[in-house]
Amino acid sequence: MLDIAPLVRVHVDALLAAQIDMGVCDANERNAPVGKPVDMSAPHLPKVAGIDSTVPSPAHTTAPVPPVIPTAAPLPGIPGEMIQDRLASWVSDLTTLHELTERLVTTGSLDEALREVLRAGAALVGARRGMAVLEPADGLGPASTVGLGLAHAELGTIETVPRSATSYGRILDGLPEPAGSRTVPDPIAVPDLLGEAELDPRHREVAARLGYAASYALPLATEAAGKLGAVVWLYDEPAEPVERQRHLVGLYGRYATEHLARLLELERARVQVATVAEELLPSRLPRVPGVQLAARHRTGPQGGGDWYDALPLPEGALGLAVGSVSGTGPSALAAMGRLRASLRAYAVMEGEDPVAVLSDLELLLRLTEPARSATALFAYSEPKQRKLVLAGAGHTPPLIIGDHRTEFVETSLSAPLGMLACWEAPSIEIAPAPGETVLLYTDGLLRRTGDPMDRAFARLHAAAASVPKADRTDPGAIADHVLRTLLPEGLDTAGAGEDVVLLAARFE
């Protein structure tokens, strides 16, 4: 067996790299042995964090070399056990940080991440309440304020205090960053807020009203990400975090800032994509006698190619269209814009024949964008006669919603545009009764439910059938009810990647 000196019999291989970052080398140096074993012929392990990890190799023919006994006076306890106790404390801290960062990384939106930072930081510094302010230094937004243990009105009350009088305000409005550099502000601790003689009177009044007596503010900033905001925790009694708590929350804050920077970049990209998509779609729906129109649209975070259109045609007719282009991102948005513009041109020339419109669109797509496919549905409507002639290319069937029936329109089966050398499918004619609504939609609405398509169709039918009678006179109310029923968490759910389009036409 190896005769290992008890002064170095400590399993630290998994912790030494972490303890360097935790600032613990000084503790190891204080507890390091005075002497060390005699050098042997075996290779020496490297020294890490001030601990001599040299271990004698096993002796096969000679007796093991006894360790050198320190000549200093013995300590009250065994140094190895003291190191193990300290390492146990570090293991606990590292485990806590690991658990908190694992929870943070699961957040998918800025507000959700800020709330998690508040909760985790409150546990680390021993506070009960707090607020986080997101305010990127580049001024491009978005800006947000969330609270922990503070109601919306209480957050507003705190914001009435002059920013220069608050610790988080001094972090946010600190000195301008020098050109080409990103400085990180220091945390600000106020251990006895009401005891400060120079405290702003308004701040004193608000603190007394809300019942907090101390604060600890941490910047959400790193050299790589820049200054994104600040978070402040509030204590009910005079207090401040100890050095160990400050160190832990500082490590957590740096990681949280990098995570927030990634979410901020994604949010800005999503807003830009949504803005482009909205600009490519109709800015307003036309007013045509005999029909009421309403549309609901939401672009996914990656930018899909779902679209809709409603355009007035000669002799009081109306063209209705919905479609979806394959792919996501800017290229899909550009293709969607080209496809919609082409369909409008074909609809003006030969809109009374939906099959001809989609045939021309199929030919155009096949010649100009052979690597892309699309679905489309086009309906030529004469509102005064309450008549629709429609044709679809791989698209989901419309839904008729009325007082006496809720049913899908049986359209002819067809492959999507761009999938066949020559596309043609017969059109069908439907005659909605007075007060009935024809609902056009894209398959993104069905996919957002997370159910198989047959189950999603059944849920859509049930949602349409459950529209309250009072809402059936308003196509917008019908579309909203269907959305609320199918997607109770809303259209802006984090992680929802599918576009959603609804176009409702109610015939008088």
Q: How many CB atoms lie within 10 A of CB 457?
A: 17
Q: What's the rounded mean pLDDT across residues 180-191?
A: 80
Q: Where does residue 211 fall: left (phi above 0), alpha (psi -120 to 50 degrees), or beta otherwise?
A: left
Bridge partners of 270, per DSSP, are none
Q: What is the DSSP string of 362-391?
A: HHHHHHH-TT--EEEEEEEEEGGGTEEEEE
Residue 182: per-residue pLDDT: 59
Q: With bands split at pLDDT 50, 70 and 90, how would you rate the model's confidence at 389?
A: very high
Q: Average of pLDDT values for 241-249?
A: 94
Residue 158: is its pLDDT beyond 90?
yes
98 vs 90: CA distance, rounded Å: 12
- Integer Cα distance of 114 and 130 in angstroms: 11
Name the CATH topology of 108-272: Beta-Lactamase (3.30.450)
Q: Is the pLDDT of residue 447 over 50?
A: yes
Q: What is the mean pLDDT of residues 68-72?
A: 43
259-275 pLDDT per residue, tens: 999 999 988 988 888 88
Domains 108-272 and 282-507 share a fold: no
Q: How far does CA 200 lie from the centroid of its chain? A: 38
Mean pLDDT score of the chain: 82
Give yes or no for residue 307 having a pLDDT over 50.
yes
Across 196-223, average pLDDT: 93
CATH placement of domain 282-507: 3.60.40.10
Between CA 85 and CA 88 the distance in angstroms is: 5
pLDDT tens digits, 313-366: 999 999 999 999 988 888 888 889 999 999 999 999 998 999 999 989 988 888
Q: 55: pLDDT confidence band, cut at 50, 70 and 90?
A: very low
Residue 48 DSSP class: B
**Is the backbone peptide bond immediately before 70 cis, with ω within 30 degrees of 0?**
no
Return the pLDDT at 41: 39
pLDDT over 60 at 183, yes or no = yes
Q: What are the sequence ranges of the domains in the chain?
A: 1-106, 108-272, 282-507
> pLDDT-derived band of residue 420, with 50, 70 and 90 as boundaries?
low
**pLDDT tens track for 30-52:** 444 444 443 433 444 444 333 34
Q: Cα(420)–Cα(424) distance, rounded to whole angstroms?
A: 9
Residue 464 has pLDDT above 70, yes or no: yes
Beta bridge partners of 298: 500
Which residues, at least 6 apart from 80, have a Cβ–Cβ distance to it below 8 Å?
6, 7, 8, 9, 10
Q: Which amino acid is at 174?
A: G
Which of 20-29, 44-53, 438-447 is modeled with the greatest confidence? 438-447
> Whose CA is closest to 51, among 73, 70, 25?
25
- How many Cα neighbours within 13 Å face the side chain of 104? 27
pLDDT at 188: 94
